[in-house]
Structure 1
Amino acid sequence: MEVLILLAVLFGALALIIPLIERSKMRISSEDAAKWAKWIWPLMGILLIAQLLRLLFS
């Protein structure tokens, strides 16, 4: 039952947030998106290593 409640809350949040984002006037240029994208994989690697260390030492 808890899973259904969680799914309902997530779906409701998406139904609320997506129209707000679409109406927003803020746009990201392709240059800015490229700057952000180059940081994603290194940060994910650091996160995975940190989680592994946390799992091993706790």
Structure 2
Amino acid sequence: MAKIKVTQVKSRIKCNKRQKRTLDALGLKKLNGTVEHEDTPNILGMIEKVKHLVRVER
């Protein structure tokens, strides 16, 4: 599987609890934090739910 980089580019302050938990599950704790994940359907689904807060690089 391919690797993707996920970077948080917007604040989580006004997000609902579900979106905050999704960011935590992705490993994003701080603004401009970057993590690498495998390109799996589970990860892509989580990214889809918080796509307005993150930037994805393949």
The answer to whether TM tops 0.5 is no
Computing the radius of gyration from Cα coordinates, the structure with the larger value is: 1
More contact order relative to length (CA 8 Å, sep ≥ 6):
2
The TM-score, its normalising length taken from structure 2, stands at 0.24
Greater helix content: 1
